[in-house]
Amino acid sequence: MLCARFLSEQYMPELPEVETTIGFLNKRIINRRIKDVWTDSAKIIKKPADFKIFKREIKNKKIERIWRKGKNIIFNLSEGKILLIHQKLTGHLLVGYWILDNGYWKPKSRGFLGEKVNTYIHLLFTLDNGLMLGLSDLRKFAKVLLVSKDEFENLKDLRELGPEPLDKTFSFEKFKERFENKKAAKGEPRQRRGKIKQVLMDQTVIAGIGNIYSDEILWEAKIHPLENVKMLDNGKLRKIYKAMQKILKKGIELRGESFSDYRMPNGEKGGFDKYRKVYRRKGEKCSRCGALIEKIKTGGRSAHFCPLCQKL
DNA sequence: CGATTCCCCTGATAGC
DNA sequence: TGCTATCAGGGGAATC
């Protein structure tokens, strides 16, 4: 059984976690052929809706390329097929060897870090060398699609995804443009509205930032999460831009966060925890000024910040 | 068109 | 102790 703490924590793979995951998958399962697929929760497969068809179409396909777009993990398969997995809240991809035991997957031999049975593996691929790729997902919110190249290019949410925050071409000028209204009226440069926290998390503005990293970025930039983006001058925007790059790079360098049940595909935890300054630290002292971290709710999500460092 | 609310799901927690 | 109600949370859909 997974230890209780593992299960109790929320897990939110954002850009650094997804980046870590694809790096790992590229080392372990590239050029492997999918020989079989199992599920006990066909609902997470959105396309094709019929699992029998999904199974037939993915069988014997070779995994040729693994990359990501925002938080979406994309597997380019042979014969032009594309497998897309969005882990949402509690999904994570694991690579290893398991045996089906009473409906649950039990790791063969030692397995992962004290884990005996993973009751949350809901989708599992067996590869041509016997290695397995499992999608573990406590909440079953994950989304899986198997599509053709054409279908892939026409997926609405992927088409509307904003730029990659760490792309070399994503300059400060480009970042600034993301805060301007798409269709600026003749004359006045109308700006995007809303609170900075929600705008940063809007995948159509910038791809890959979620609840954890948006809190951390705003703490780093000393900007209040509820600050309206209209109020952000050049200086503040630059601070956010710099903080975004720093925090996301740190996340990748440390291979993702680790306080929740996020694990790399080999079951190890990431190391971002030491750098987590505000997220889920309500009531703790701000490491910069000593004030107590506060937690508020905005747009249906929690936001953590230091009331002294991040003034409205 | 934009902003808000609901919903998917399951485990933890608070309240009785 | 044990039951029930509530909550979290990415993102898509429905609704205001």
CATH of the domain at A83: 3.20.190.10
Q: In this structure, is the CB of residue A70 within 7 Å of any atom belonging to strand C?
A: yes
Q: In this structure, is the CB of residue A300 within 7 Å of any atom belonging to strand B?
A: yes
Q: What CATH number is attached to the domain comprising A247?
A: 1.10.8.50
> Can you give the pLDDT at residue A147?
95
Does residue A268 form part of some domain? no
Angle between helix A234-253 and helix A15-28 axes, rounded to 10 deg: 30
Q: Which residue is nearest to nucleotide B7 (CA to C1')?
A: A141
- Phi-psi label, residue A109: left if phi above 0, alpha if psi -120 to 50, beta otherwise: left
Does residue A15 form part of some domain? yes
Residues A142 and A280 both lie in one domain = no
Does residue A29 form part of some domain? yes
How is A26-83 classified by DSSP, letter by letter?
Answer: HHHSTT-BEEEEEES-GGGEEESSSHHHHHHHHTT-BEEEEEEETTEEEEEEGGGEEE
How far is A261 from A183, CA to CA, in rounded Å?
41
Structure tokens at A160: 């509307």
pLDDT along chain A (312 residues), means of 10: 33 88 94 97 92 96 97 97 94 90 82 65 96 93 94 89 95 91 50 86 93 93 92 93 95 71 62 79 90 87 91 86
Q: In this structure, is the CB of residue A202 within 7 Å of any atom belonging to strand B?
A: no
Does residue A245 form part of some domain? yes
Residues A147 and A178 both lie in one domain = no
Residues A189 and A95 both lie in one domain = no
- What is the nearest nucleotide to A86, using C1' and CA? C10
Does residue A269 form part of some domain? no
From residue A156, alpha-carbon distances to A137, A152, A160, A297, A304 in Å are: 24, 9, 6, 29, 31
Does residue A158 form part of some domain? no
The domain total for chain A is: 2
Angle between helix A234-253 and helix A211-221 axes, rounded to 10 deg: 130
A301 labelled catalytic: yes
Q: In chain A, where does DSSP find H-type helix? A: 4-8, 15-28, 51-58, 149-153, 156-159, 172-177, 196-201, 211-221, 234-253
**Straight-line distance from CA A155 to C1' C11, in Å?**
14
Give the domain extent around A52.
4-152
Structure tokens at A188: 């006045």
> Can you give the pLDDT at residue A264?
64
How far is A89 from A33, CA to CA, in rounded Å?
28
From residue A120, alpha-carbon distances to A30, A110, A141 in Å are: 24, 18, 12
Residues A235 and A100 both lie in one domain = no
Q: In this structure, is the CB of residue A138 within 7 Å of any atom belonging to strand B?
A: yes
How far is A225 from A293, CA to CA, in rounded Å?
13
Give the CA radius of gyration of chain A: 21
Does residue A167 form part of some domain? no
Active-site entry in A55, A61, A71, A281: A71
> Can you give the pLDDT at residue A220?
96
Does residue A107 form part of some domain? yes
> Can you give the pLDDT at residue A255?
77
